[in-house]
Amino acid sequence: MTTLRRPVVLYMHTCPFCSWSARVVAKLDRRGRVGLLSMSHPEAQAMLEQFPIEARYQTWILAYPDGRLVRPPEATLALLDLLSALAPVAWLVRRLRLQRLVGRVEKVVSTYRGELGKLIPKKGAIQRFP
């Protein structure tokens, strides 16, 4: 298994909304602080072994170089912190104690990502690994 040099977003490349979201992360991440990898990639599969099969693909996961895997809503705030342009949003969410709201929004998005994907032009998966 490859040693990670930075946190990596693991996402479903077969989900148009998820692939679109990964491309948005790539555009916002001008410093290259975040990697992107499809959950179907063998490296991602090895990282995901600690989750039961039915729980692996419910939402995206942030994998850290130390082996930790974090899911939303914690992963959402961590990702916002990593994306310099959105770090103030993460600060504001923490300051106003809106973490529960972020969790609820994430749940709604995860539940309806299939429908949201129908609204987005289909493009290929993006990969930035390790």
- Could you tell me which residues come within 8 angstroms of residue 53 by beta carbon, excluding any fewer than 6 positions away? none
Angle of helix 87-95 relative to helix 99-111, nearest 10 degrees, comes to 120
Cis check: omega of the bond before 88, within 30 degrees of 0: no
pTM score, whole prediction: 0.91
| pLDDT computed for residue 48 by the predictor | 93
Three-state DSSP class for 62? strand
Return the structure tokens found at 9: 């977003």
**pLDDT average per 10 residues of sequence, the chain (130 residues):** 90 93 94 95 93 87 95 94 94 95 92 91 84
Q: What would the pLDDT profile of 70-105 be if each residue is shown by its tens digit?
A: 999 899 999 999 999 999 999 999 999 999 999 999
How many CB atoms sit inside 10 A of residue 32's CB? 10
